[in-house]
A and B are shown apart, each in its own frame.
Chain A
Amino acid sequence: MADIKIENVTKRFGDFIAVDDATLTIRENEFVVLLGPSGCGKTTLLRAVAGLGMADEGRIRIGDRDVTYLPPRDRNISMVFQSYAIFPHMKVSDNIAFGLKMRKTDPKLIDKRVKQSAEMMHIEGMLDRYPSKMSGGQRQRVAVARALAMDAEVLLMDEPLSNLDALLRLEMRAELKKLLADINATTIYVTHDQIEALSMGDRIAVMKDGIIQQCDAPGVVYDMPSNKFVGGFIGNPPMNFMTGQIRQDGDQVRVNIGDFSLTPAPAMQPLLRDYNKEQIIIGIRAENMETFNTSTDDALKVSVQVVEPLGSQNLLTVKIGDGTVKVSTHPTFQIAPDEDVWLRFPADKIRWFDHESEMALYP
């Protein structure tokens, strides 16, 4: 078993920089998710680790081996592809056995491994079938079983669930998570689905424009985004952002949203005092605002535009200044469109971002 060290990897396609100086260490048996919008370079980075597209600069190490320029088959990795990429002309058993056969593994061991991985993926009854006679979900299972059979140090997964329908995806997500916890493999998992990332990963590396923005545990990435992009990309609904004006009020720094005045948490005060710009970005998650039907101290009065009852919560869209903010309320909270609601922003739940660099400010 091995860890993966990605050191200053850059990959260009012509003038386009797909991955820009990415550095990431994945510990042994860790499950890291590369998350980002399409075109952010996450798949390119994964392919560089797989050896399917060599890095232009930087090094990639698996364990103590430098694999930067090794062909894929010498890296001791296995992979699940987005389109499954199972061989249509081979039976399921031959598909699963392919990698082992190429390595000239002992036929008895191949048989055993094929059975094991097929059982893990619950497709042991389909070993004699051709993929053309299988559904998308079943093919997905074959693709995973084929990767598992290799028993490689490193398991790479390129959006393995994105071609499945929503219900199946939900099912497979939990199944894969359990499976990957049981086997010993260092895993890199690429997805654009932030819920998948939050639910499965030990850590999430959020990428944008070829740059790794943040790499932390799901809770940290969610609660303490390193910049505005991460906050806006993760979470459903995403983090709300408002622009506030910095105002010195004696010893205290206060921030105005229109006429409404906020008092930042004491820990933030020294930081904001040194913050030499007039404007600052305030970020807060929908579920972190307190809502009241009646006028309350330190609460901002806003008008509700849309009410979306989602069962587990009521999602309100309210107007603040020129923008809108999503507010999550308890399903029992009674409100109708065009009614007024009072919002309170708990100081410890507010995240602060530099107005120019959009980087998060933490004490």
Chain B
Amino acid sequence: MSTNQQARQKKKYNWAPYVLILPSLVYLAVFFAWPMVRGLTLAVWNDEANLILQVEASQNSDEAGKLPQGTAVAILDQQGNEVPVDELDEGNLQTEIWYQITGLGTDGAPISGWVPEARIRVREENDAGTPTGGSVRTKLGSDADPLTTIYAAENEASEIVGQLEARTEVTIDGLTVLEVWYLVRGVDEDGTTVEGWSPSRYIQVFEEGTNGRVDRGNSGALTSEYVQKMVNDRFFWPALGTTLLLMVLIIPIQFILAIIMALVIQANLKGQGLFLYVFAIPLAASDLAVGIVWFSIFTTNGYLNTILQGLGIIDAPVTYLSAETRYWIIIAIVLAEVWRATSIVMVIVVSGLQAISSEVLEAAELFGAGLWQRLRHVILPLLKPSLQVALILRTILALQVFAVVVALSGGDIVTVLARETYRQYFDFRNLNVAASFAGFILLISMVSAVFYLRTIRTQEEVGA
């Protein structure tokens, strides 16, 4: 083969791996990235932050201005506007029915047109409950115009077809349900007065009917409101504190134990296979089950008290898991977590140890390193990549600790970040604050992962 041909062959790109990885990328995007981004937006995005006012009482008209949620407004005018039937049940939505009627005018000629519901008393309905006939209402008040105006279309701005006297019998040929639009005036964030039309569904009207407030907006905006709510939540600082405390307590204990366990397994003792199995058993238990097991040990009538009483060390059962003995709950959580999750670290460390060549360890021994020096100068540095993985994994898992805490403390005496996420979501039904908590956990997880990757650098040693 000539060099030219070789060069041409090299240029041929190998697409197969990308084609093979495509399904997983699609899967990741659809079932992970997209929902996660959507979920996290809840924490910082207020869907109803601003109400956009229109120049005219129509969605198609120009924008007159924006009023933030909660702004007090004066209601200057109102008007009905057609609305899709499936939107009629939205909160605050005010409706107005217009009837299409036919009746005899003052001159005896029949008049056909539209009139708002306030002017018609319905007297006949068909079997389906649709009005079919009625009469024109009398206007109250002495100086009122006794005539009722009939319009060409279902709004008061349309052409006037004619007028009907009070009590005129009419047939109802059809009806349209309209949403009321208000012409409102309010002061926006910049201090400028804005005036414009808004559908009634966004406005809460006060009793007099002349004032109201923007109940919710129809356009979203970034907000720190939910994050502030989270930080100001009375459980936030205790939850963060406990989570970090548990991390600081659990991770070092786990790593020391895991390294010792891994070294024991690697020491080629008799029955080392058994050690591995025994050490790995807790991996199979669910964290809630582990929490319940340790609860049954530490509860007032639990195993610990029974044994201590049986040995005569204490006379009466001690209450460990109460608000007054919070440290016992922490101890119980640490014990349960260490018991449950140390073996995952151990498994990673064992695999890391197996990757260290035995000749390297022998060389260290031969060149004068004792057990401790071998551990410090050779084994631990060579375990760095494994420890890094384990550390990231364990930190992320420690930030998610939940079931054990709930099982041992009920989730109120001692609380953690994951527990608060759950509380906001299920107990308070506050999706946005729950999303803030979840996002906060994600943020610390990522920051710590990056921190570990940066501080425990191994590139220059392992690089090709």
Contacts and interface: CB of A to CB of B under 8 A. Distances in A.
Interface of A: 50-52, 71-73, 77-79, 81-83, 85-90, 98-99, 102-103, 130, 132-133, 146, 150
B385 to A, nearest CB: 10
Contacts of B461: 88-89, 130, 132
B375 to A, nearest CB: 13
Contact of A81 (B363, B373, B378): B363
B359 A83 contact: yes
B7 to A, nearest CB: 28
21 contacts: A72-B362, A72-B365, A73-B365, A73-B367, A78-B367, A79-B363, A79-B366, A81-B359, A85-B362, A86-B360, A87-B363, A87-B378, A87-B381, A88-B360, A88-B382, A89-B382, A99-B367, A102-B369, A102-B373, A130-B461, A146-B367
B457 to A, nearest CB: 11
Interface of B: 357, 359-360, 362-370, 373, 377-378, 381-382, 384, 460-464
Contacts of B369: 73, 98, 102
A182 B39 CA distance: 74
B195 to A, nearest CB: 73
Contacts of A73: 365-370
Contacts of A150: 367
B286 to A, nearest CB: 38
A79 B368 CA distance: 12
A102 B373 CA distance: 8
Given A73-B370, A86-B360, 16 more contacts: A71-B365, A72-B362, A72-B365, A73-B365, A73-B368, A79-B363, A81-B362, A81-B363, A85-B357, A85-B359, A87-B382, A88-B382, A89-B378, A98-B364, A130-B463, A146-B367
A50 B368 CA distance: 12
The 6 residue pairs across chains A and B that have the minimum distance between CB atoms: A99-B367, A102-B368, A85-B359, A85-B363, A73-B368, A89-B381
B372 to A, nearest CB: 11
A133 B378 contact: no
B463 A133 contact: yes
Contacts of A50: 366
A87 B364 contact: yes
B355 to A, nearest CB: 11
A78 B365 CA distance: 11
Nearest to B359: A85
Contacts of B373: 102
Contacts of A90: 381
A73 B381 CA distance: 21
A253 to B, nearest CB: 54
Nearest to B463: A132
A37 to B, nearest CB: 21
A341 to B, nearest CB: 45
A132 B368 CA distance: 24
Contact of A52 (B365, B377, B381, B382): B365
Contacts of B464: 132-133
A162 to B, nearest CB: 13
Residue among B360, B381, B382 having the largest count of chain A Cβ atoms under 10 Å? B360
Contacts of A98: 364, 367, 369, 377
B357 A83 contact: yes
A51 B364 CA distance: 13
A308 to B, nearest CB: 32
A195 to B, nearest CB: 25
A72 B361 CA distance: 12
A80 to B, nearest CB: 9
B359 A130 contact: no
Contacts of A99: 367-368
A89 B374 CA distance: 13
B368 A103 contact: yes
B366 A130 contact: no
B362 to A, nearest CB: 5
B462 A88 contact: yes
